[in-house]
Structure 1
C-alpha cells in the first residue's frame, strides 16, 4: 500500500514539476515579447512609405531597362533592314560602281585594240595601185567608196582572226573587194568565177560580226543560244566545206557552228540545236526549212545571212524555200545579207532587190557565164561513145606520168549515177586508186569518199554534178568530163574544180553530140571562145545556134518584166 502511494506521490510531484517548468518557459517567452518596444503609428507609416518608394524605384528601373533593350533591338533591326532612303542610296552606289566598271572595261578594250593596231600597222594602197588592180582583174564596183584591200596588213583584225589567213599570200580579188563593205556592215552581192575564194570572203566578216555582238561570250551555261549567222548552200558537200572553214577559224574564238543537211538522221542535228544552240548554222535549204518548221531551228536571231551559189539554188527550184527561210530571220533593216553567185541572172537580181538593202555589187570578170582563165580547156570531139573508156585511160596514164612524184588529183565527171558507178568500177579494175561520189551512195559513204580524195588516200574521184559546185581541193590538176553536163553552166563549174588558189589546171571534155549535147554546142563554143579556145571540129560538126534562156518557173516565155511586174486588173462587162 505504502509503496503504491509513494509511486503516485512521486508521479504527482513530477507532473507538478513539469507544469511549473512549462509555465516558467511560457512566462519567459511572454516577458520577451513584452519587453520589445511596440511601433508607434508614425513609425508604421514611415516604413510603409519607404517600402512603396522602393517598389516604385525598382519598377522605374525595370521600365528603363526594358526601354534600353527595346532601343538596342530597334538599332539592330535598323542595321539589318535599312529604310527606303538607305536602299535607294545603296542602289545608286551599286549602279555607279557598275557604270565605272563598265567604262573601265570599255577603256581597257579600246586600249587593247589600239595596242593591237599599233602592233600591226596597216598600210594603204595608192589610188594608182587600186586602179591598176581593178583593171588587171577586170573588177567592177558599184560603190567606189570602199577601197579594195590589196594586202592582209591593211585589215584591222584581231590576232585570233588573222590566224586563218596565215596560209595565204594575199587576198583573192573577190576577197579584196568584198571585205571592206562587209566589215563595214553593208549588204554585198559578189559575182565571181567558181574557185575564187568566196567562202573566206563571207566567212571572215561573219566571224567578225559575231565577235562584235554585245552578248558574245556572256551566255549563261543553261541559257539557249540562238544562231546569229546562217549560211545556205545548194549541196551537202558545199555546206560541209563551208562549215569546215568556219569551224576551223571560229573554234579558237569560242564560236560554235553546226552543219545541217539531208541524207542523214535529223536526231543528232535536233540535239545540237536544241541543247544549247550555236552561233553559226550552215546547211541546205530543205533541211534548214524542215528543222525550222519543227521549231528546233530558231532563225529569229539571224542578223548575218549568206546565200552561197545563189544562181544554182534558184536553178534547182529552191526559190520558194529560200524565201520562206529569209522570212524567219531578222527584218531586212536589222540583218546584213550577203549573196554570192557565179552569174547574175534576172532571178538572182530579183531576189537581191527584195531582200537586200542597197547592196554593194562586186563583179570579178563578167556578170555572164565565164570559165576560169587559169584552166586550159581541151575538147575531144568524136562520134563513138564507146571510145570514152579508152580515151579516159589514156588521159589518166599521161597525166600521172607527167606528175610523177608530185601530189595530184583527178576528177572524172559522169552525167548519171549508174554511169559514175560503172566508170569507177572500170578504173579500179585497171589499178587506179579511185572513189565515187553520187546520189546512190548514203551520206556516210559520200563523206568518206570526199575525205579520202582530199587526203590523198585515193587519187581519182568519179562524181556526178553533186561535186561540181564549190568543192575546194587545191591539188586537183585535171578534170575529165566523161559525159557533157546538161547545162553549160555546170560545165563551167565542173572545170572550176581545178585551177584553184591561183594554181593552173587542165580540163578535158569528151563531146559526142549525142542526146542533149548537140543543142548545147553553140553555147559551149561561145564559152570556149571567151576563154581563148577555138574548136574548129566542134564548129564544123554541130550547129552554133544558142538556145534562148529559160526561167526555172516560166520556161521560154519568161522575160525580165515578168518577175518585177505588177498585176493588171481585168474588168468583165
Structure 2
C-alpha cells in the first residue's frame, strides 16, 4: 500500500468491470475516485469503459488498445498526472516526478506530432527511467496531484470566474501550479515570481493545451495569457526534444516589438533554468545579432510578422520543426495589416501542429483567420465576448474639460499620487506627446515614447519607466497594447482615442494581474461621437456616467449645439471652462499604430 508520501491515497475495492490493468484509487481527503493504469502510469477521472484490452501488451493504454470507443480514447487524454518518483530522484539530477532534467541537445526518437500521437515516451506527465526499465519502481507509490474535478466543482469555478468554454470533452481547469506537473525548476521560478495561483485564463487553457488541442482564448489584457501559453510550450519542448540547431520548435507571433521583447523576457525568466533557449526577432533593430542567435540554435522564436518574413526570405531560419504556434493579440495583428505576412509564415510551418490564438476581442476578421488556421479548437472566453468590456478593477473618471485646461488638470492628477507612482498619459499626436513630456519632466520626471523614436531610444525610455527613474510615460497609441509594466497606478487619456477599442486597451495598462487602477479621461465636444460607446463601457464596468456625456449621446453624438465655446464642468475635477478646440490637423498626423516601425 502507499507509503507516507502518498498518505490519503488508497486502492478502491476491486471492480470487476474495470479493464485490466486499470485500478481504482480513492483520495482520502476528498473521497474522489481516480483510475490508474500501472503499466502506462496514467491517471484519469473518467472510468475506462472498454472491455477489450490486451493484458499482455507492454505499452497498454486506452489510446493504443483494441478499444474503438472515441469517448474512452478522449478520456485517456484528460489530465494525465505525475506518478511519484523515488526519494532520491532529485539527487540523481531529475526534475519533479522523476523526469530527467531537460537536455536541449537531445533528440527524441518519437516524432513530435499533433493530437493523437500519444506514445508513452511522449506523454508529458510520465517519468522516464534513466535505465529504460520500470523494474524496481513500486506500483503502490502513487501521488495524485490536486486539480479541479470535472463536474460541479469545475462548473462552480467557471461560473465564479466568468469562464465559458465551447468544444468537445473540455477538461476541468487547474487551480494550482503544483497540479500541472511542471518540472521543479520551472515551478520554482513561477512561485518565486510571487504567483499564488493561476489566473482564470491560465487555469482553463492549460488543461486544454496539455491535451495538444488547438485553443482560441479570448480575455482582456492583463489576464496572464503569456504564461498561459508559455508553460504548455515548455512542456511541449520537453516531450519533443528536437535539436534546436535544426530550427525552432515553438513560434510566438506578436504585433509589436514591445510585446515581443516582453514575451522573450518571460520565456528567459521561466525557461532559462531548464536550458530552454529563445530568440526575439523584431524590426527597428539590426538583423545581425538576431541572425547569430538563430545560427546558434533556439527552441523558441518570438517574432513580429514583418521581421520574421524578412528573415524567411533570406533563407536564414527553418520553420520545418514548428509544432507549437501562438498568435498573441491576434486582433491587433489584423488591425495592423499583418494578415498577409501571417499567412505567408503559416505556409512554412507543418500542418501537423498545435495552434493557440489569444485575442482581446472577437471580430469577424479574427474568426475568419481562426477558422482557417486552427483545427477543431476549444474556445475559452473570460467574461462577455460579444461586447467590448473594460476591466472592472479600474475606476474610470471622465472629465468634461477644455483643451486649454488639460495641462493644469494633468498636473493636479500627478501631484495627487504618491511619489514615484507609475503613470501613463496618452496623447493623440507625437508633437503633443513631446511637448507634454517636456512640460512635465522638470517637476515630475517624464519621458515620451512614440513612432519617431528609434529602437535604442524606445528601449531606454521603457527601461527608465520600468525602473521608476521616469515614473511618467507620455505615449501615443504605440504603447496602448502589449506594454506590460508592473504597478502602473494611473492612466490619463489626455486626448480621447479615435475608437472605443483603443480606449479600453489604453486604460487596460493599469489594473493588471489582480491589481486595481485608476483611469482619468479628458472629454470635450470634439469627442461627442464616442459618447454612446463610452457610456456602454462605463455602465458595463459599473462606473458613474457624467450627465454631460449622456446629453451628448442624446443629441446623436453632437456637442453643445448652442455654442461650440460653451462652458462645461469637469467630473471629479471641479473645473469649468471653454471647450472644443479643434484638433483636426493633429489628428491627421496621428501615428496610431506606427505600422512601418513595427515591421
Deviations 1:472-518, CA, capped at 9 Å, x for gaps: 2221011111111111111111111111111111100011232xx23
Of the candidates 497, 501, 506, which is equivalent to residue 485 of structure 1? 497
Q: CA RMSD in A?
A: 2.5
Q: Does 2:160 align with 1:136?
A: yes
Q: 1:408 to 1:330 in 2, by over 3 A?
A: same
- Whole-Å Cα distance in 1 between the matches of residues 141 and 368 of structure 2? 44
Cα deviation, residue 145, structure 1: 2.8
Q: 1:542 to 1:288 in 2, by over 3 A?
A: same
Contact 2:170 2:378 in 1 (8 A): no
Question: 1:450 matched to which residue of 2?
Answer: 462
Contact 1:436 1:461 in 2 (8 A): yes
> Which structure dedicates a bigger proportion of its chain to helix?
1
Higher CA-based Rg: 1
Question: 1:42 matched to which residue of 2?
Answer: none
Q: Which moved more, 1:307-316 or 1:467-476?
A: 467-476
Cα deviation, residue 176, structure 1: 0.6
The count of corresponding residues between Structure 1 and Structure 2 is: 426
Q: 1:272 to 1:254 in 2, by over 3 A?
A: same
Q: Does 2:229 align with 1:202?
A: yes
> Normalising by structure 1, what TM-score?
0.71
Q: Does 2:511 align with 1:520?
A: no
Contact 2:531 2:552 in 1 (8 A): no
Q: Does 2:266 align with 1:245?
A: yes
Question: 2:146 matched to which residue of 1?
Answer: 123
Q: How does 1:246-285 map to 2 (within 5 A)?
A: 246-273=267-294, 275-285=295-305
Q: Secondary structure at the match of 2:492?
A: strand
Of the candidates 392, 416, 439, which is equivalent to residue 451 of structure 2? 439
Q: 1:399 to 1:119 in 2, by over 3 A?
A: farther
Q: Does 2:165 align with 1:145?
A: no
Cα deviation, residue 105, structure 1: 6.6
Q: How does 1:128-527 map to 2 (within 5 A)?
A: 128-143=152-167, 144-166=169-191, 167-215=194-242, 224-273=245-294, 275-331=295-351, 334-367=352-385, 368-382=387-401, 384-400=402-418, 408-429=421-442, 431-514=443-526, 517-527=527-537
Cα deviation, residue 395, structure 1: 0.6
Deviations 1:39-74, CA, capped at 9 Å, x for gaps: xxxxxxxxxxxxxxxxxxxxxxxxxxxxxxxxxxxx
- Whole-Å Cα distance in 2 between the matches of residues 198 and 478 of structure 1? 22
Contact 1:234 1:285 in 2 (8 A): yes
Q: Does 2:541 align with 1:531?
A: yes
Q: 1:111 to 1:176 in 2, by over 3 A?
A: farther
Q: 1:241 to 1:132 in 2, by over 3 A?
A: same
Q: 1:426 to 1:110 in 2, by over 3 A?
A: farther
- Whole-Å Cα distance in 2 between the matches of residues 316 and 175 of structure 1? 27
Cα deviation, residue 471, structure 1: 2.1
Cα deviation, residue 297, structure 1: 2.3
- Whole-Å Cα distance in 2 between the matches of residues 105 and 194 of structure 1? 38
Q: Secondary structure at the match of 2:187?
A: helix
User: 5+ unaligned residues in a row in structure 1: which ranges?
Assistant: 1-97, 548-573
Q: Secondary structure at the match of 1:379?
A: strand
> Normalising by structure 2, what TM-score?
0.68
- Whole-Å Cα distance in 1 between the matches of residues 296 and 134 of structure 2? 33
Q: Which stretches of structure 1, 4 residues or longer, exceed 6 Å deviation after superposition? A: 109-112, 117-120
Q: Which moved more, 1:294-303 or 1:488-497?
A: 294-303
Q: 1:323 to 1:118 in 2, by over 3 A?
A: farther
Q: 1:437 to 1:111 in 2, by over 3 A?
A: farther
Q: 1:544 to 1:507 in 2, by over 3 A?
A: farther
Cα deviation, residue 445, structure 1: 1.1
- Whole-Å Cα distance in 2 between the matches of residues 269 and 545 of structure 1? 52
Question: 1:550 matched to which residue of 2?
Answer: none
